[in-house]
Amino acid sequence: MNPFIITAYKAPEFFCDREKETDMLMRSVINGVNIVLYSLRRMGKTGLIKNAFHQLGLSTDYQLIYIDIYRTKNVDDFVNELANAMLKIDKKTWYKKAFDFIKNLHPMITVNPISGQMEVEIKPINQGHGTTNLESILQFFEQYQSKIIIAIDEFQQITEYPESGFEAFLRSKIQFLNNVNFIYSGSNRRLITAMFNNYNRPFYQSGATLYLDKIPSDVYALFIKKLMVNNGRSISDELITKGLLWTETYTWFTQNYFNRVWGKGVKNITQELLYEVEAEIFSEKERDFIELRNLLPENQMNLLIAIAKEDGVSQPTAKDFLAKYKLGSSSTINSALKVLEQKEIIYNENNTYQLYDLYLKRFLQN
């Protein structure tokens, strides 16, 4: 097995560091404190949650539920994600009670032809009243005999639902639950911090905050070296450092990069092999670039290329920057920045604009 995991969480030995963050998550939920976990995309939030759940599963009898609501469009979708997650808990005593309860909501039950797993779709008797089913599910959690921890990934998505007042409704129900604690996770820093830091929002200060930053490069280097050596591969410290510089220690990109290196099947890893991996990434990103160029107006595409070549821009309307890349007026650039941020192609972190897709940035810099 390739030890550099890029999909689902496997086991602690394939999970790099995050010991303090895992401990904080566990201590908080054990002590009845909800957590607001946020970071940039692909920084490893989901892996951290799954790692904490793994540890909690070993030391407690808690029921641990994880849902990702990024693709949900409304309250009904939210309810269905929660109901399906309930049925994926591999504990017989829990499963029977959860299944019996969900049957009372008159679901449509199907079997996924790919995964073979049972899936449910719950529709409210009266359209637009999905909150009634959600309230019933939360009451079921509250009455269950053991503690329940629910992690909701991409939690900021609820602000996009068409049902007015859902954020306030959900908060009004959650605040009275004694048997359930929550991990609210999000990758849109602007939206998630507004939800919990703005005093006139329903979830204001309703959880302790945990920001997930990059793993220190020296820690990541030791982890990579260990996985390589323990699995019969040889790589110099210098090459590991070069790989980490190329990926900027972003968790997913680092895992993906060294997954590719490992996947070459070469026991003694060389600089030429790293170049080969990078060339493959460039080839893949060339196709993405062509597609993006066809979708974006010229001014947005030119701005995107300029940000990549500058390796981030803190003053995008500065005269020197505009002149260097022939970007036009500052008002045009401000409009392009706003659209690119809304499309989640770029982000602003510490007053610097960067591309979300590190591999695309490397391609544009090449």
The pLDDT of residue 10 is 93
> CB-side exposure of 13: number of CA atoms within 13 Å?
8
Do 309 and 200 fall into the same domain? no
Q: Are residues 289 and 179 in the same domain?
A: no
Same domain for 298 and 165, yes or no, is: no
pLDDT, the chain, mean? 92
Q: Which CATH number fits the domain that encloses residue 63?
A: 3.40.50.300
Whether residue 243 lies inside any domain: the answer is no
CA angle (149 as vertex; 147, 151 as ends), nearest 5: 175
Nearest of 97, 68, 87, 70 to residue 183 by alpha carbon = 68
Q: Is 275 left (phi over 0), alpha (psi -120 to 50) or beta?
A: alpha
pLDDT value, residue 178: 94
Boundary-marking domain end, from 176, 211, 246: 211
- For position 294, which CATH number holds? 1.10.10.10
Q: Note whether residue 136 is domain-resident.
A: yes
* Residue 330 covered by a domain: yes
Q: What is the mean pLDDT of residues 191-197?
A: 95
**Checking DSSP bridges between strand 346-349 and strand 352-355, what pairing results, if any?**
antiparallel
Do 239 and 274 touch, CB atoms closer than 8 A? Answer: yes
- 188 and 318 in a single domain? The answer is no
Distance CA 341, CA 338 (A): 5
**Which pair of tokens denotes residue 27?**
């201590």
Q: Which residue has the tokens 């607001």?
A: 36
Residue 155: CB partners within 8 Å, gap ≥ 6? 69, 184, 185, 186, 192, 195
Decide if 251 is inside a domain.
no
Is there a single domain that holds both residue 115 and residue 205? yes
Would 277 be classed as within a structural domain? no
Residue at 128 is within a domain: yes
- E strands present in 45-197: 63-68, 108-111, 118-121, 148-153, 180-186
pLDDT, position 124: 56
Looking at the structure, do residues 201 and 104 belong to the same domain, yes or no? yes
Confidence class for position 316, pLDDT limits 50, 70, 90: very high
| Burial class (CB within 10 angstroms; exposed 0-12, middle 13-18, buried 19+) of 292 | middle
The domain boundary, picked from 179, 211, 243, lies at: 211
The reply to whether 5 falls in a domain is: no
Are 190 and 302 found together in one domain? no
Q: Which two tokens stand for residue 187?
A: 């990758």
Task: List the domain range (segments joined by +) for residue 297.
Answer: 285-366
pLDDT over threshold 60, residue 199: yes
Q: Tell me, yes or no, whether 7 lies in a domain.
A: no
> Does an H or E element contain 149, and which?
strand 148-153
pLDDT by residue (tens digit) across 45-68?
999 999 999 999 988 889 999 999
66 and 169 in one domain? yes
Q: How many domains does the chain have?
A: 2
Alpha-carbon gap, residue 181 to 356, rounded angstroms: 31
Question: What is the per-residue pLDDT for 125?
Answer: 47
Could you read off the pLDDT of 226-244 as tens digits, one per residue?
999 999 999 999 999 999 9
- CA 336 vs CA 35, 41, 327: distances in Å: 34, 21, 10
| Residue that is last in its domain, among 211, 235, 270 | 211
Structure tokens at 268: 């003694």
How far is residue 360 CA from its own chain's centroid? 19
Residue range 95-140, pLDDT digits in tens? 788 878 887 777 776 767 776 676 777 765 455 567 888 998 999 9
Q: What is the largest CA-CA distance in the chain?
A: 67
